[in-house]
Amino acid sequence: MTAWVYTSINAKYLPKARMLARSLEQYNPSIKFAVVFSEPVGTPYGHDSGFDEVVYCEELPIQDFRAWAFQHDVVEFCTGVKGHMLVHLLAKKDCESVVYIDPDCVVLSSVDNILSEFQKSSILLTPHITQPQALDGNLAEELGSLRHGVFNFGFLGVKNDVEGNRFARWWSHRLEKYCYDDPSNGIFTDQRWGDLVPALFDRVAILKNPGYNVATWNILERKVSGSLSEGFTANSEPLVFYHFSGLDSGQQLNMLNKYAKDVRCLYDLRDWYIAECRRLEKSEDLANAWIYGLFANGQQIEKEHRLLYRQNQELRERFPDPFDCAEGTDTFYSWCRLQEIERTEALRHEELKHQKLIEVRELVQAREKLVEAEERFAEAKKAGDEWEARFGRSQNVANDLSSELDRIRQSKKWILLCHLATLKMRVTSLFPQKSIT
């Protein structure tokens, strides 16, 4: 009977998958290693990569595959196929058990103790953390587990028995239908589904061995020591596999600096892992962008496109292949472009209306200021006339003010403003929801 380990990747993660395969073989040569490859059939992966089997995502029994693929970003996609791959491996006649390990992990010692757990269990899980955090401290990891799942599904073990297969069928269905990064709706890819596993299934083992699935989120509770030449331990237990989650984004290094800045061996391990992955990289690995992230014409698929298609059944029925961009046909791409044009025109129209409203408001306010100035002039002239009547003076001042008022009245701006004097009433009818002050 054979134990299988598998991982799920697209072409970008091929170097990491090769590294995982080699590290597994070094300490566990009898175990078979498989990859579910989220690229079109025929995409090269390197036949010397150390993979015993490669299954392309299109070969899995996913209903309406093209429509399904469009609804997922690369992380959701590579996670969403994990369940079907598990079912595929368990269907092998010689398969005794299957272990899933994320591609950004490295095996550092024998996994025999993990496999021995199948003597009494059918499903193996590893929690993100195994110790409560200080009540007066930072509860980030506990809160993170509440948001993203109690168990880290960078590891999963399933025995090829009745309960293991029952779980695999359930998990593959949930991931095909609901594997999204959507915490606000209670879903975080496969991990929030994992929270249900101990309640829904029997013979579930929660592995708390400090040497399993060591990562920055649990490094505070696991004292790692050792070296590449002598091996590593975590809380004096053999470090079986380390998880470099967040390596490419820089988050792994940030968390290492925050929680383990004095643990030199973890930096040595990280440097070695990066160098080995680069050594295993091939030029064709990154030659092309992820095909399921692009429309057929090469344009990037945005998150908005995926959500529109995912949330609208009419669109899914109308466009069974949303990647299609054939000229002269009704496609989801052309529909999106039309929506964008109409939205742009609507925004432009609203902007013009708003700008016109501002201009009218400014002209009306200017006219009101001129009217106010005229009233003040009239008051000044009246005062001057009264002064002249009493004292026979200020005639020159009054004449000057009168000339200035005549000049204002004959100006083009004054004439224009007079024509706009009635605009307040018209603007109110044109823009009944807006008031002009």
71-95: b (≥16 Cβ within 10 Å) or e: bbeeebbbbbbbbbbbbbbbebeeb
- In this prediction, residue 344 has a pLDDT band, given cuts at 50, 70 and 90, of low
Span 33-41, mean pLDDT?
A: 97
Identify the pLDDT of residue 348: 66
Span 243-254, mean pLDDT?
A: 96
Q: What residue segments make up the domains of the chain, in order of their start?
A: 2-293, 347-430
Lowest-pLDDT range of 80-94, 294-308, 330-344, 419-433: 419-433
> CATH assignment of 2-293, given 3.40.50.620, 3.40.50.360, 3.90.550.10, 3.40.140.80?
3.90.550.10
Span 356-375, mean pLDDT?
A: 75
Lowest-pLDDT range of 8-17, 202-211, 276-285, 301-310: 276-285
- In this prediction, residue 305 has a pLDDT band, given cuts at 50, 70 and 90, of very high
- In this prediction, residue 278 has a pLDDT band, given cuts at 50, 70 and 90, of very high
Count of alpha carbons within 13 Å of 281, Cβ hemisphere only?
A: 13
Rounded Cα–Cα distance for residues 229 and 250 (Å): 26
41 Cβ contact list (under 8 Å, min separation 6) = 56, 58, 59
pTM of the predicted structure, to 2 decimals: 0.78
Rounded Cα–Cα distance for residues 85 and 34 (Å): 9
Rounded Cα–Cα distance for residues 186 and 149 (Å): 10
- In this prediction, residue 392 has a pLDDT band, given cuts at 50, 70 and 90, of low
- In this prediction, residue 426 has a pLDDT band, given cuts at 50, 70 and 90, of low
